[in-house]
Amino acid sequence: MIRAVIFDWGGTLTPWRTMDFRAGWRAYASLRHAGDDGRAATLAEALATADVARWTGIRDGARAFTIADVLADAAADHRDDEHAHALAAYRDHWVAATHTDPEAAPMLRALKEQGLRLGILSSTMWPGDWHDDWLRRDGVLDLFDGRTWSSDLPFTKPHPSAFRAAMDSVGVDDPAACVFVGDRPYDDISGAKGVGMRAVLVPHSEIPADQQVRVDVTPDAVIQRLSELPDVVRGW
């Protein structure tokens, strides 16, 4: 019997939106070194390089990281007032990609009506309170029994410990009683099935080539819209 459904966040609960991640770091650097275009450009490039390297680390070893790690890798001092203003500009750049799918709230309520516990497991370097703010803004925060952000973990998807942390957050200890819903065949589908969960693919994301890993895995179901999920789960 299925007892819990755990979701990826970006590209699953939020529709995929291709963003210029370098522009986010340029926004940060332009405030961090306001009035010095040369230093700002150098910092932005160092941060973008560190960002890519850290995401490659996830692809190659599932090691989680945070914004602070990226800043440290780029030798960016982040202990002054300029950092706070710069980080706010970086966050503002990404807001466009954070809006919850309009079908998510009714879908989540339908799953709750089936008696299921709901969770999130997201590979993210952003602080959990950023995500909570966005979920609260969209009126869905309180629909989740647990939320697990890899920025709080040593490892992220597809590492088994990340999935176990998400299971713990919703109070379910049997992976066979869990469904994971995600948009990435390697991180989400192979990771979930590797620990014994059922896995549902939402196949609409344009995943960057340097974050892709070839994997021979078949999801238990494929949905085109979140509204399809309650019927799929009910059939299990």
Task: Band the pLDDT of 76: cuts 50, 70, 90.
Answer: confident
Domain containing residue 211: CATH number = 3.40.50.1000
CA torsion sign for 102, 103, 109, 115 is negative
Q: Where are the alpha helices (DSSP H) in the chain?
A: 21-32, 37-61, 67-73, 81-94, 104-113, 128-137, 160-170, 191-194, 229-234
15 membership: H or E segment, kind and range: none
The number of folded domains in the chain is 2
What pLDDT, on the 0 to 100 scale, is given for residue 232?
A: 98
Q: Residue 229 is encoded by which pair of tokens?
A: 């999920």
* Residue where one domain finishes, among candidates 96, 122, 141: 96
* Residue where one domain finishes, among candidates 60, 80, 96: 96
> Are residue 128 and residue 215 in the same domain, yes or no?
yes
> Are residue 105 and residue 190 in the same domain, yes or no?
yes
Over residues 132-152, the pLDDT tens digits come to: 999 999 999 999 999 999 999
> Are residue 83 and residue 102 in the same domain, yes or no?
no
Q: Are 99 and 69 in contact (CB under 8 A)?
A: no
> Are residue 85 and residue 119 in the same domain, yes or no?
no
Q: Residue 140's domain spans which residues?
A: 4-17+97-234
* Residue where one domain finishes, among candidates 81, 96, 111: 96
